[in-house]
Amino acid sequence: MSVSVEIEPAKKRDLRGILVLIRDYKQYDVEFAKRYYDIYFKRSPIVEKDKVYMAKLKGKTIGVIGFYRDYFSTDYSYWLGWFVVDKKYRGRKDCAVAKKLLKEVESELAKRRIKKLFVSADDTNTRAKSFYAKKGFRTEAVLRDYYYKGEDQLILSKLLIKR
């Protein structure tokens, strides 16, 4: 039986749920996330092209994804930010939370005629690496010892439209 997951744009009232997800995934990201989302929900001009989506099940936040423009590149490159799914729903085919969230982002970026989507991932996160590979992402770069000695950061990308 399929679970009915709703995908919707994030609102300020969703901030607590977003931060709980991020804290459960990577506690050290919470302060940085809070600073970003405070700016995002105030609709600062610096984030005017950014977008954040929530996955909800019966009103409970079970996933978050966002994208932001690469301000040091062109207008045609964006990055995924804080793509987190509640651990109880990761990998579950009956609700496909991650798949639905990524599809929402790709759909919005296609409307904007965005060429390329980037994401960074910890090289030890086999679940994320497998998911991104299945969704057409490829490795662009490896930043050695980025997190700690022996923990590399992968920079992955996916071509969304051909120019």
Q: Mean pLDDT in runs of 10 for the chain (163 residues)?
A: 87 95 87 93 92 95 94 81 93 92 96 93 93 97 91 94 69
Burial class of residue 53 (count of CB atoms within 10 Å of its CB; 0-12, 13-18, 19+): buried
Q: Give residue 120's pLDDT.
A: 94
Expressed as residue numbers, the domain containing 101 is 6-159
Instruction: With respect to residue 1, please indicate whether it lies within any of the assigned structural domains.
Output: no
Q: Give residue 70's pLDDT.
A: 78
**How many domains are there within the chain?**
1
Edge-to-edge strand order for the sheet containing 116-122?
6-9, 51-57, 60-69, 77-85, 116-122, 151-159, 138-148
Instruction: Look up tokens 């950014």; give the residue.
Output: 50
Instruction: With respect to residue 74, please indicate whether it lies within any of the assigned structural domains.
Output: yes
Q: Give residue 28's pLDDT.
A: 80
Instruction: With respect to residue 104, please indicate whether it lies within any of the assigned structural domains.
Output: yes
Instruction: With respect to residue 154, please indicate whether it lies within any of the assigned structural domains.
Output: yes
We report the CATH number of the domain holding residue 77 as 3.40.630.30
pTM over cut 0.85? yes
Q: Give residue 72's pLDDT.
A: 73
Instruction: With respect to residue 145, please indicate whether it lies within any of the assigned structural domains.
Output: yes
Angle at 127 between CA 80 and CA 120, to 5 degrees: 30
Structure tokens at 146: 């980025």
Instruction: With respect to residue 107, please indicate whether it lies within any of the assigned structural domains.
Output: yes
Structure tokens at 99: 């798949």
Positive or negative: CA dihedral 142, 24, 71, 148: negative
Q: Give residue 76's pLDDT.
A: 79
Strand-pairing partners, residue 8, are: 54
Cβ within 8 Å of residue 143, ≥6 positions away: 152, 153, 154, 155
Instruction: With respect to residue 119, please indicate whether it lies within any of the assigned structural domains.
Output: yes
Instruction: With respect to residue 149, please indicate whether it lies within any of the assigned structural domains.
Output: yes
